[in-house]
A and B are shown apart, each in its own frame.
Chain A
Amino acid sequence: MPIGIYVHIPFCQRKCGYCDFNSHAGSDRAEQARYVDALLREMDLWAARPEVAGEQVSTVYVGGGTPTLLEGEQLARVLTGIRQRFALASDAEVTVEGNPGTVDVEGEKLHQAAAAGANRISLGVQARQRHLLERLGRIHDARQVEEAVAAARRAGFANINLDLMYGLPGQTPADFRETIDWALALGPTHISAYSLIIEEGTPFYHDYQSGRLRLPEEEAEERMFLEGKARLEAAGFEHYEVSNYARPGFRCRHNLLYWRNEHYLGLGCGAHSFLRLAAPLGNLGPPRPGLTASRVQGGSEVETTPGAPGQQYRFWNLKHPGTYRAALERGVLPVEAGEPIDRRHEMAETMFMGLRLLEGVSDARFSARFGLSVRAAYGAEVDRLERQGLVEWKDGALRLTPRGLRLGNLVWEAFV
């Protein structure tokens, strides 16, 4: 099965008030260049290992932070670096995330990225209205968005995603309708519409706790969701994931890989991976020498699956760019920690990630993967959720009902 590669660029010109991602403001050109050096080192180390080297790579996603804060040349080094070391499929989807405020009008960066193989761009737009953008702490305005889209087109990008947000402080349903219509007029192939989540530890969280940040009423937020969905669908977009819409044929293949619980390699500080480790990795990883067939666990012999090439792991890199780089400068993979994913975990994750997709979890695919049906694995939970009107069976797949779509957490938690 082909895998995906995620590359994290942790730099931003300014950190937005709602953002709890691993991003840092105040980097300079030199630091960015050193970071890209480290990324290339990390690629070298992975290229020398068996897990990724032999696999076909079907998607690449350069996210952040703000990848377009990098100079075009650096972006190109990252993309070329991947192409040189890994087996990138000829039809691979290669996405670069960008902030409209960091894309130069001449489109030089975008040209360089495209030349290095990027074929999809994802722009953080959020809203059209200046007061909303200011409240969010965005560095761009609507005009820059329009220019960035135009620049992307000129650079040859035909596959363009725009990220939008709703449920913002001070936002009305009319504001969101206007944003949607304006965004559609820019001609994207894909639109993500995220409801604002107040994350702990962010300035927004602090403001929210102290009452300085007022969110729209529940009814207003719901209207934004429903009206947004209706407008996008009327414009020919398919609602295919909780927060994602695409024109036919333009669903984000990289994100689909996450939702279908497939393997990916994460490069860069704080990046997460999900792979079957074939050789030990720090204190993670498979069979220590001499313990291949069975191992002693808690005093009793435990059989491992015969012939299994290795244990699946989720693991993540050191979060801070500095410590991440330091590890690579010592020549070791900057993995901070990880956890083995046993069958029970894998089934749970397959369910709660898969149920984010409107197509749901295909019983046939689930059975093929785990050797038992969804119902055999989660009969009681599924029955309860069906009774509550949160999920339904459709065309051999378990999926969210329209009500379940708004109450996804209640569905997903049933499987953990």
Chain B
Amino acid sequence: MVDQKHIRNFCIIAHIDHGKSTLADRLIEYTGLLTKREMTDQVLDNMDLERERGITIKAQSVRMDYVADDGEQYVLNLIDTPGHVDFTYEVSRALAGCEGALLVVDASQGIEAQTLANVYMALEHDLEIIPVINKIDLPAADPEKVKKEIEEVIGLDTSIAIMASAKTGIGMKEILEAVVNFVPPPEGDRRAPLRALIYDSYYDSYKGVITYFRIFEGTVRKGDRIRFMATGKEFIVDDLYVFRPGLTPVEELSAGEVGALAATIKEVKNVRVGDTITLAENPASEPLPGYRRATPMVFTGLYPVETNDYGRLRDALEKLQLNDASLSFEPETSEALGFGFRCGFLGLLHMDVIQERLEREFDLALITTAPNVVYRVNLTSGEQMTIENPANWPDPSKIESVEEPVVRASIITPTDYVGPLMELCQDRRGTFLNMEYLNEKRVNLHYRLPLSEIMYDFFDQLKTRSRGYASFDYEVTGYEPADMVKMDILVHGQPVDALSCIVHREKAQKLGRALVQKLRKLIPRHLFEVPIQAAVGNKILARENIAPLRKDVLAKCYGGDVTRKRKLLEKQKEGKKRMKAVGSVEIPQEAFMAVLSTDADED
């Protein structure tokens, strides 16, 4: 058992690319040098083993032993945090498990929006923050300017700021000393009923769900019967681990410590981030504060290209859900696309990741419908409906009002790009809130924006209009009334359900026009003329015609190369197979995602 006085729990807050992983690696290496050689070997072995088994080491939590300048040996637990806006809640839970944080800022770049959001979150959790100015070896480094920015923007005292280069190893000892000296040791009664906060988990095919936690009070031992307070599920602890950095078995863990447990848990959904673990026989009366169920914000329809892959798609989604409780899916049927699933994601990145994993790891060819947010529709009857799928949009005559989710967005940008970025936010129905000067060259721009308006290509646009310099963060703040309508797309006179989308009334005309133009380019010519129309209710907003195909013929027969000719024909035929037949019209997969890029294509 480690004396609490000798424990430090901390995390690293950094913008992507500002050097978080490299810094973590260097710290592990540095502390590893001070421990026994066989210990180092063991650490590496464990890592290799995990890699061989293909276990995703999701959170790189690490327990380091460090003998400080005061001659005492300390246990330093580094808790990793996910870096993206979709996982804000997960970040907040990880922060809640720490007493301190290293704020890593790139000496040549300065503070970014995501970093700032996480720093504020850390301050809310009363974390001691140690600024680390990283990459000071870069020619463009301007540590003094960055220090000033930290002081002015966040109001942190930078006198203890550490100049570091994770690449060259400068400043590692200073960082570790600062962690020992400035991060407070954990408190909490070891004899009190167990209260441990779950901050991460992953699925291991041998041991079931591995649960990562931080103990605030009490003690847990191997063989204990534990209870997850939110779900009420109980399990027997098979194994307890600390991170060295692989999972290393221990007999018990108590207040102030960080570790993991395996308890033959079959489903990740039993282990929710933010939930409190207690002991079944001597339960705590109250869970730790702050638990929240992850709610999907973005929904999309996922359909297999090959109809008979439906079962494989379901199996794949189930497998992914084992490891990702925030992924939700329900069967749905589309006239155009057949059987598929309506899937809910925390955000767009989350959606991308899942789609990519389905395609890569499970070798599935998918058609994705345009993503949409969750709307609240107040009916004239007084009822409120929650709409996750445009197909379920009620008849307009029954709609009293509609509410849509809105976010508070923070955009940090050099002042040069304020104009174009404000224009972008206005285009996206944004409401200007305020603008703070971080220094004379950089500002933090705050907007209230509908979530639906930042779903598509907002981030790309932001990067384009700021030449890559602006950074962006948001949090969903609630629902607000919005004049939304359902726009239908008719192909050859038939509405195609999978192409319907919910749009703002004032934007319907423009979007409808852009969308039919886009579809005209994407849908191949047929033997007959194919009209494409955008409509709201009975009103046609835009129409384009795809002229009938008049000519499609290989002119030349050359030198007897029949193989090449056959391959050309096969390729052409294969391309058509990947399309979905809606009535007598073949629609390519890209068409179902067309709505995503219509903005960029407008003339």
- CB pair B566 A21 closer than 8 Å: no
- Asked whether A255 is an interface residue with its Cβ less than 8 Å from the other chain, the reply is yes
- Kindly list the 5 A-B residue pairs having the minimum CB-CB distance in the complex, ordered from nearest: A408-B553, A413-B569, A409-B552, A195-B555, A413-B573
- Asked whether B549 is an interface residue with its Cβ less than 8 Å from the other chain, the reply is yes
**What mask results when residues 559 to 570 of chain B are scored 1 for a CB within 8 Å of chain A, else 0?**
111110110011
- CB pair B557 A255 closer than 8 Å: yes
- CB pair B555 A194 closer than 8 Å: yes
**When A218-B550, A405-B553 are in contact, do A416 and B570 touch as well, CB less than 8 Å?**
yes
Most chain A C-beta atoms within 10 Å of own C-beta, residue among B549, B555, B560: B560
Which residues of chain B are within 8 angstroms of A413 by Cβ–Cβ distance?
Answer: 569-570, 572-573, 576
Which residues of chain A are within 8 angstroms of B562 by Cβ–Cβ distance?
Answer: 258, 261, 272, 274, 314, 349, 353
Known: A408-B553, A412-B554; 12 extra A-B contacts, CB below 8 A, are A196-B555, A222-B551, A264-B560, A266-B559, A272-B560, A356-B557, A407-B550, A407-B551, A409-B553, A413-B569, A416-B570, A416-B573
Give the A interface residue count (CB, 8 A): 44
- Asked whether A410 is an interface residue with its Cβ less than 8 Å from the other chain, the reply is yes
A14 to B569, CA, bound (A): 31
A242 to B565, CA, bound (A): 15
**When A406-B550, A408-B554, A409-B554 are in contact, do A339 and B569 touch as well, CB less than 8 Å?**
no
A63 to B558, CA, bound (A): 9
- CB pair B565 A352 closer than 8 Å: yes
**What mask results when residues 527 to 563 of chain B are scored 1 for a CB within 8 Å of chain A, else 0?**
1000000000000000000000111111111111111
Range, interface on chain B: 20 to 34
Chain B residue at smallest Cβ distance from A21: B558
- Asked whether A348 is an interface residue with its Cβ less than 8 Å from the other chain, the reply is yes
Q: How far is the CB of A342 from chain B (nearest CB, A)?
A: 13
Measured CB to CB, the residues of A under 8 A from B are: 6, 8, 21, 63, 194-197, 218, 221-222, 241-243, 255, 258-259, 261, 264, 266, 270-274, 314, 316, 339, 345, 348-349, 352-353, 356, 388, 405-410, 412-413, 416
- CB pair A197 B556 closer than 8 Å: yes
A413 to B559, CA, bound (A): 20
Which residues of chain B are within 8 angstroms of A259 by Cβ–Cβ distance?
Answer: 557
Most chain A C-beta atoms within 10 Å of own C-beta, residue among B550, B559, B563, B576: B559
Which residues of chain B are within 8 angstroms of A405 by Cβ–Cβ distance?
Answer: 553
Within 8 A of A (CB), among B446-505: none
Query: Can you list 28 A-B contacts (CB < 8 A)?
Result: A21-B558, A21-B559, A63-B559, A197-B554, A218-B550, A221-B551, A222-B550, A243-B556, A243-B557, A266-B559, A266-B560, A271-B559, A272-B562, A273-B560, A274-B562, A339-B563, A345-B566, A348-B566, A349-B566, A352-B569, A353-B557, A407-B549, A409-B552, A409-B572, A410-B552, A412-B554, A413-B570, A413-B573
Q: How far is the CB of B477 from chain A (nearest CB, A)?
A: 47
A352 to B565, CA, bound (A): 9
Which residues of chain B are within 8 angstroms of A8 by Cβ–Cβ distance?
Answer: 559
Q: How far is the CB of B572 from chain A (nearest CB, A)?
A: 5
A145 to B576, CA, bound (A): 43
Which residues of chain A are within 8 angstroms of B569 by Cβ–Cβ distance?
Answer: 352, 409, 412-413, 416
Q: How far is the CB of B525 from chain A (nearest CB, A)?
A: 10
- CB pair A272 B557 closer than 8 Å: no
Option from B552, B555, B561 in Cβ contact (under 8 Å) with A407: B552
Which residues of chain B are within 8 angstroms of A258 by Cβ–Cβ distance?
Answer: 557, 560, 562
A85 to B553, CA, bound (A): 39
Chain A residue at smallest Cβ distance from B553: A408
Q: How far is the CB of A6 from chain B (nearest CB, A)?
A: 6
- CB pair B563 A272 closer than 8 Å: yes
Which residues of chain A are within 8 angstroms of B572 by Cβ–Cβ distance?
Answer: 409, 413
Chain A residue at smallest Cβ distance from B561: A272
Which residues of chain B are within 8 angstroms of A197 by Cβ–Cβ distance?
Answer: 554-556
Q: How far is the CB of B197 from chain A (nearest CB, A)?
A: 56
A194 to B551, CA, bound (A): 13
**When A316-B561, A352-B565, A407-B549 are in contact, do A242 and B527 touch as well, CB less than 8 Å?**
no
Which residues of chain B are within 8 angstroms of A266 by Cβ–Cβ distance?
Answer: 559-560
Which residues of chain B are within 8 angstroms of A353 by Cβ–Cβ distance?
Answer: 557, 562, 565
Which residues of chain A are within 8 angstroms of B552 by Cβ–Cβ distance?
Answer: 406-410
- CB pair B563 A416 closer than 8 Å: no
Which residues of chain A are within 8 angstroms of B555 by Cβ–Cβ distance?
Answer: 194-197, 242-243
Option from B527, B556, B566 in Cβ contact (under 8 Å) with A388: B527
Chain B residue at smallest Cβ distance from A167: B555
- CB pair B553 A242 closer than 8 Å: yes
Q: How far is the CB of A132 from chain B (nearest CB, A)?
A: 17
Which residues of chain B are within 8 angstroms of A196 by Cβ–Cβ distance?
Answer: 555
A137 to B554, CA, bound (A): 22
- CB pair B566 A195 closer than 8 Å: no
- CB pair B557 A407 closer than 8 Å: no
Chain A residue at smallest Cβ distance from B549: A407
Which residues of chain B are within 8 angstroms of A272 by Cβ–Cβ distance?
Answer: 559-563
Q: How far is the CB of B571 from chain A (nearest CB, A)?
A: 9
A218 to B527, CA, bound (A): 15
**What mask results when residues 237 to 275 of chain B are scored 1 for a CB within 8 Å of chain A, else 0?**
000000000000000000000000000000000000000
Which residues of chain B are within 8 angstroms of A356 by Cβ–Cβ distance?
Answer: 557
Which residues of chain A are within 8 angstroms of B566 by Cβ–Cβ distance?
Answer: 345, 348-349, 352, 416
Chain B residue at smallest Cβ distance from A404: B553
Q: How far is the CB of B581 from chain A (nearest CB, A)?
A: 13
A259 to B573, CA, bound (A): 21
Which residues of chain B are within 8 angstroms of A261 by Cβ–Cβ distance?
Answer: 562
